[in-house]
Amino acid sequence: MRLVLLASGTGTLAQAIIDAEKSQLLDCEISAVISDRDSNALKRAQDAGIRAEYLPMQPDRKVWELQLANLISALKVDLVVSVGFMRVLSAEFVAKFPTINTHPSLLPKFPGAHGVRDALASGDIKTGATVHWVDAEVDTGEIISQREVPIYPADDESSLHERIKIVERSLIVETLTDLIKIRKMELRG
């Protein structure tokens, strides 16, 4: 299975996938890491010998998304993996390219950019990480996998988010492993 990773930040989720692919834990090929920012995720890709593409947001969002779609089409990938990518993709994009995303909450609770903050403010005793299919809305796609993370009384947004990231890294690798197995079975017919 050929993957492209979309990442906007430090790239720790992308690194987990890169490490799993390099150690042959994942039977896939990472075609590229694409970022809308000059991010550390791009450096991680370069360090691993993976194509790194910086695609800055354009004033016209449709122009930017067309550039992204053209790049992904040229890469001929089977799956787009959004890992810390802080852009909403259009319905047209996700209809054309199967895309999964990681999110730092137990969806459908706490969608959006502030899932960790919202979980803390809710008074809940647990939150977690979700991997889901991306659809036309924000964090509403079909849930593929989830894992719980307890919320401790001493937690602040930073400490809770760090614990969630640890879970997210293993969850995305496990989820990709399962998706790759399913894909292989489908190809065998």
pTM above 0.75, yes or no: yes
Instruction: Report the mean per-residue pLDDT for the chain.
Output: 97
Q: What is the pLDDT of residues 34-71, one digit of tens each?
A: 999 999 999 999 999 999 999 999 999 999 999 999 99
Query: Does the N-terminal peptide bond of residue 108 adopt cis geometry, omega within 30 degrees of 0?
Result: yes
Q: How many residues does the chain have?
A: 189
How far is Cα 15 from Cα 48, in angstroms, rounded to an integer? 9
How far is Cα 11 from Cα 80, in angstroms, rounded to an integer? 15
Structural domains of the chain in order of their starting residue, each with its CATH number: 2-188 (3.40.50.170)
Q: What is the per-residue burial (b if ≥16 Cβ within 10 Å, else e) of 77-95?
A: bbbbbbbbbeebbeeebbe
Q: What is the pLDDT of residues 8-31, one digit of tens each?
A: 999 999 999 999 999 999 999 999
Residue type, 117: R
**Residues with catalytic roles:** 103
pLDDT at residue 22, rounded to an integer:
97
Q: CA angle 76-66-101, nearest 5°?
A: 65
Is the pLDDT confidence value at 187 over 90? no
Half-sphere exposure in the Cβ direction for 32 (13 Å, CA): 17
